[in-house]
Amino acid sequence: MHVPDLNSLSESESHVVLLFDPTPNAFSYLGLGSKRKLIFEKPQTGILEAFEDFSKLASSWSFGWLGYDLKNEIEDLETRNPSPLGHPVVAWWEPEIAIRFSDSSVEILSGDDDDPRMIEALESIKKESKVPEEIQGEMVWSWDKTQYLSAFEKVKQLIQQGDVYELNLCMPLKGQTASNTSWPLFRRLQNLTQAPFSAYLQCGPYRIMSGSPERFLKKEAGRLISQPIKGTVRRGGSPEEDKALAHALQNSEKERAENVMIVDLVRNDLSRVAEKASVEVTDLCSIYSLETVHQMVSTIECSISPEKGISDILRATFPMGSMTGAPKISAMKHIDQLELEGRGAYSGSIGYISPTGDFDLNVLIRSLFHNSISEVLMASVGGAITSLSDPEQEYQECQLKADAIFKTVND
């Protein structure tokens, strides 16, 4: 996965985006500057319609993020504990310069050829970004193990009471790092994870460095594709151990049950915008092997009803079931009670919208969030809890998911 050298551009430009596209063609997207932008600091009525209008007006590609608290406009929900980072709930923009590139080709999507920034961007693509040996920063758990286990038991009680049958419980990590370390942090994280939906987004002082392995939703030629992840295990130290771990994950009753629950939730969500009888599970509980973990992934697809726009699609599907639980609304209400701080952009989504209205959105997990003014750095990790979940195993899975984040910042 070729990573251009954006160290200089990330310091000189207020708006920067780098998205990796995990298609067979292996395209990536680079955007600089902002022609137009849509910023909502907090959820409010009409935000999805404004987002759709913005995407329709775009004459070129647009990029950005949708924060988790967008849920408050979609459903009758609230967030009592806002994230201390202050990232807007929606930040979406049309870059002045947009480039699509792969190892074998470079295509200018928008921008002037003689713009000095265009020249610098094209030069940066030719260079492979160096991986910083270390970062002057620190990241620590906000919860200790006792706090996690206490919250876990509360989730188990909710399951026994019938309030939910699956809930994604997340715990935050906090740190501090200098304002100019956002890009170096991303480069280290990407190098460690090699995640297919890696991305770097910079909107003024708000930065997201994503090592996400998960696709939330892709729209392509009238089709919607969702690929939720439920089920994670580490890579083995030898080929034999690695194969055994993947096999154990594939055959785990608990992990398959978690995955199937979210598949059913996604099927229901997609049915609200799909053509009749078009929702289908095209791949169930497959194992995908990444740099640091094996993941269990399912694929659900449908044909979109012609009258449904992106606001309808998001209203039906956001936030993703893999980061909430089931039933989704009940799970989200309890998450706000159980988690001590708001998620902010975490477990939202970042991605692009093309000029034709197609889009690809990831799930904002395995990511770092940075405010370059306060220099606060945050992340969160979590996992789904069901009636079959073991508290010690769930805690250890959180440790596994946080490993690359700690290595990025603390090593």
Token readout for 332 is 């989200």
Q: In this structure, what are the phi and psi dihedrals at residue 397, rounded to the nearest 5 degrees?
A: -65, -40
Q: CA gyration radius for the chain?
A: 20
Longest pairwise C-alpha distance within the chain: 65
Token readout for 30 is 């680079």
Say how far residue 233 (Cα) sits from the centre of its chain: 19
* DSSP letter assigned to residue 163: S
Q: Look at residues 129, 92, 140 and name the one whose alpha carbon lies nearest to residue 9.
A: 129
**With contact defined as beta carbons under 8 Å apart, do 26 and 102 qualify?**
yes
Residues noted as catalytic? 214, 230
Q: Look at residues 364, 4, 406, 372 and name the one whose alpha carbon lies nearest to residue 173.
A: 406
Q: Look at residues 81, 50, 59 and name the one whose alpha carbon lies nearest to residue 68.
A: 81
Helices (H), 116-252: 116-126, 145-161, 182-193, 239-250
Token readout for 393 is 């195993």
Distances (CA, A) of 250 to 234, 263, 264, 382: 13, 16, 18, 20
Distances (CA, A) of 150 to 147, 154, 379, 383, 389: 5, 7, 21, 15, 14
- CA atoms of 407 and 397, how far apart (whole Å): 16
Would you call 113 helix, strand, or coil by DSSP?
A: coil
Distances (CA, A) of 333 to 47, 217, 318, 329: 21, 23, 15, 6
Q: How many CB atoms lie within 10 A of CB 356?
A: 9
Would you call 251 helix, strand, or coil by DSSP?
A: coil
Q: How many CB atoms lie within 10 A of CB 399?
A: 12
